Structure 1
């Protein structure tokens, strides 16, 4: 996947100290750094490769409240509000627009799931609503009643990830965040039981607070300092089409295909849940915790032992003065599943015949950091005073990123959090294991 330069790399020497060091230049890390800086905190952000070089630029670009787990919905509501505010503050067009999101239901079971979600989350006061069979046909510009109904949320939004996160980083830089690309953090330094700084490939930065927002790299980083964390990686494949005249103004999800209109007139096209589970050594250790997920998705999730088995996402260990996996692989750029995407495009043409003759012009894949319950892990790490993680965003990261960053910033500064943070505690997995 080709990315434009983020324009955030610093030509200045690495600072010796900072109030907080943020590790990772994806949407979660950039958002955390921004909200810390807005609170008067001196922040250094270190990114091993490029800002938004991995999943933060490779996702679908949905900013949705609809369909969220009730545990993360309060944070997502805040994040949606933050996206609207940030889009208005930044001097760049990031493709942000409230164009709605719709989940189609072809079977009674699908429709019931949507109805159950709506009833279960009615107390949040969202504008989500169920569409009837005829309303769904009118919405799609068809009259064959292939769908029994749909769940629709008019206030949900979209943006262009490859534009939005680099723009957010430039916005953070304007607020005083010092951003260093091509600067891998190898490990964390400790003194008297507390974080005292980070060891980067270019030298030490003294700091008593570190935020790890490393995406799929977070597990390996934590294990290297003795913290067991059940995060694994799945590969998701996506394509974009040439401009097409399709009666679709918002994001649409169905069992076989999900589409999102793009700023360039084309569409981002993928299939929900159709991912490739990366079988690496850590997968065997944490497999029992992932069995419920695999059972639910066995028909659409592939399990593969690929090049990453003994690669950078494996079980390597290293010292602060040794080259780390983060330097060996600056940007994970996996190959997309061409067979899957061909079938997804076939489904897109079935949903909207106007896609007939419209060619895919680019395809790509990204590695998603996932945890067993698919709820983000945001909070302090036991036994490492001063270390906070923002990871395991489980494919929800782009939409929930600003909210996750704000919550992490509030935790670091001791401010009252915008939502109850208990559901996001990274220590919940060790509590369950001990129970």
Structure 2
């Protein structure tokens, strides 16, 4: 079954000849960056090879969370929570955002202590978050059969609709003067004296002095054509959505057996709490050394497989000329077949935990490709080797909620403003300068 229905965004008919910044990628990171830049008075062209938000930005769980984040992302996510609260007014459109809270359950005392320790990362942020005891959890969810030690409950967290958010932000950017170009793949960069002077798209050239690559799972391939190496692999996550159902939890919830989020239509998005599929592909061997520490830590939650994707990716050229069709024109949208097994097991676990879900009717299943880095922390940085090139990618399954703030940070970097948060953890060079790469939060 194809991916979820996404609010359509019709691309501009005319290609601008010159802008200040070209943003490559129409997911929530790219659209948020475009909106920030356009609001600051820059001329912006956003180029998307397919449709706005058609890949992971519309396929994720829809969580807007600061809880259980990598500590390096917490300051940026705190800013994101502030942005989300005003995003509907700012865009003039419905993103489905609601401050509804997120609950991370604790199976035993060890997990409870771990969550309690993690929660100290939020000290000083004045956010509503606390630990629930076993009795408090039972009182909050009297109809649940879950036997848990307690839970981390962050009322400040929220949810939004992935199929609405990126389109709403893109349209708001267009309201501010940005060009929104769909089915317009960028083949590569034009350089003058080693610095960015424009891009070549499948529809023609656009002159510019700055480029932001927000290409998600395609970013490593794009950078490789310019001699830049970004260690990035794909992890497939499968979800299902139900038809509207009354009586389920209002808060999003994570456990080892399931993860759920109430949808705006009254249904639920449901996925495995920890299992994802990793296809062995040529890049798996190319980046094996860099990802090894992460794989050692996460191997229990990753289901490795060898199949047709190995040969599909082996056939994708890693170098191409700008006067010929690029790989991005032959592969517009990553739309993998979801794992029926993983989603069925997640739903079965959910039914045991909350009997009300015995009434749940499955409306659709889909999968998406998460772009991961070895430390599961994104790159949000200028690339020193090519002046004018900037990268915002590798959000490792955490990008939807943090997206609006990532766009703000990227815009700060492009325009030379004081960054909204300290940005060292997000530097591009950390994978090549000998820095210790440490996975903290997981994929």
TM bucket by the smaller chain?
over 0.9
CA contact (8 A) 1:134 1:145 kept: no
Counterparts in 2 of 1:330 and 1:351: CA distance versus 1, 3 Å: same
Q: 2:332 aligned with 1:330, yes or no? A: yes
More moved, 290-299 vs 15-24: 290-299
C-alpha deviation, 1:388, in angstroms: 0.3
Counterparts in 2 of 1:34 and 1:144: CA distance versus 1, 3 Å: closer
In the alignment, the residues of structure 2 paired with residue 7 and residue 337 of structure 1 have an alpha-carbon distance, to the nearest angstrom, of: 29
In the alignment, the residues of structure 2 paired with residue 155 and residue 433 of structure 1 have an alpha-carbon distance, to the nearest angstrom, of: 34
In the alignment, the residues of structure 2 paired with residue 382 and residue 203 of structure 1 have an alpha-carbon distance, to the nearest angstrom, of: 27
Q: 1:410 aligns with which of 398, 409, 412?
A: 412
Q: Number of matched residues?
A: 434
Q: Give 1:223's aligned residue.
A: 224
Q: Give 1:43's aligned residue.
A: 44
Q: 2:418 aligned with 1:423, yes or no? A: no
C-alpha deviation, 1:432, in angstroms: 2.4
Q: 2:403 aligns with which of 401, 424, 432?
A: 401
CA contact (8 A) 1:101 1:252 kept: yes
In the alignment, the residues of structure 2 paired with residue 143 and residue 162 of structure 1 have an alpha-carbon distance, to the nearest angstrom, of: 29
Q: Give 2:147's aligned residue.
A: 146
In the alignment, the residues of structure 1 paired with residue 287 and residue 12 of structure 2 have an alpha-carbon distance, to the nearest angstrom, of: 38
Q: 1:371 aligns with which of 370, 373, 380?
A: 373
Trace 1:123-138 onto structure 2 (pairs within 5 A).
123-138=124-139
CA contact (8 A) 1:376 1:390 kept: yes
What TM-score do the two structures reach when normalised by structure 2? 0.95
Q: 2:47 aligned with 1:21, yes or no? A: no
Q: 2:251 aligned with 1:250, yes or no? A: yes
Counterparts in 2 of 1:265 and 1:5: CA distance versus 1, 3 Å: closer
Q: Give 2:237's aligned residue.
A: 236
In the alignment, the residues of structure 2 paired with residue 237 and residue 145 of structure 1 have an alpha-carbon distance, to the nearest angstrom, of: 23
Q: Give 1:56's aligned residue.
A: 57
CA contact (8 A) 1:246 1:352 kept: no
In the alignment, the residues of structure 2 paired with residue 427 and residue 152 of structure 1 have an alpha-carbon distance, to the nearest angstrom, of: 36
In the alignment, the residues of structure 2 paired with residue 179 and residue 251 of structure 1 have an alpha-carbon distance, to the nearest angstrom, of: 33
Q: 2:320 aligned with 1:288, yes or no? A: no
Q: 2:375 aligned with 1:388, yes or no? A: no
Q: Deviations over 1:320-374 (max 9, x none)?
A: 0111110001111000001111101101101111001322110000001100111
In the alignment, the residues of structure 2 paired with residue 329 and residue 217 of structure 1 have an alpha-carbon distance, to the nearest angstrom, of: 10
Q: Give 2:112's aligned residue.
A: 111
Task: Say which SS state the counterpart of residue 112 (structure 1) adopts.
Answer: helix
Counterparts in 2 of 1:433 and 1:74: CA distance versus 1, 3 Å: closer
C-alpha deviation, 1:124, in angstroms: 3.4
Task: Say which SS state the counterpart of residue 86 (structure 2) adopts.
Answer: helix
Q: Give 1:204's aligned residue.
A: 205
Q: 2:265 aligned with 1:261, yes or no? A: no
In the alignment, the residues of structure 2 paired with residue 348 and residue 197 of structure 1 have an alpha-carbon distance, to the nearest angstrom, of: 51
CA contact (8 A) 2:145 2:353 kept: no
C-alpha deviation, 1:113, in angstroms: 1.4
C-alpha deviation, 1:312, in angstroms: 4.9
Q: Give 2:357's aligned residue.
A: 355
C-alpha deviation, 1:406, in angstroms: 0.5
C-alpha deviation, 1:128, in angstroms: 1.3
What TM-score do the two structures reach when normalised by structure 1? 0.96
C-alpha deviation, 1:203, in angstroms: 0.9
CA contact (8 A) 1:377 1:392 kept: yes
In the alignment, the residues of structure 1 paired with residue 117 and residue 317 of structure 2 have an alpha-carbon distance, to the nearest angstrom, of: 41
In the alignment, the residues of structure 1 paired with residue 268 and residue 136 of structure 2 have an alpha-carbon distance, to the nearest angstrom, of: 23
In the alignment, the residues of structure 2 paired with residue 293 and residue 434 of structure 1 have an alpha-carbon distance, to the nearest angstrom, of: 12
Trace 1:62-211 onto structure 2 (pairs within 5 A).
62-142=63-143, 146-211=147-212
Q: Give 1:345's aligned residue.
A: 347
CA contact (8 A) 1:140 1:247 kept: no
In the alignment, the residues of structure 1 paired with residue 31 and residue 411 of structure 2 have an alpha-carbon distance, to the nearest angstrom, of: 11
More moved, 115-124 vs 147-156: 115-124
In the alignment, the residues of structure 2 paired with residue 155 and residue 27 of structure 1 have an alpha-carbon distance, to the nearest angstrom, of: 21
C-alpha deviation, 1:145, in angstroms: 6.4
Task: Say which SS state the counterpart of residue 200 (structure 2) adopts.
Answer: strand
Counterparts in 2 of 1:15 and 1:330: CA distance versus 1, 3 Å: same
More moved, 375-384 vs 89-98: 89-98
Unaligned runs of 5+ in 1: none
Moved over 4 A (4+): 312-315
CA contact (8 A) 1:28 1:401 kept: yes
Q: 2:16 aligned with 1:6, yes or no? A: no
Q: Give 2:440's aligned residue.
A: none
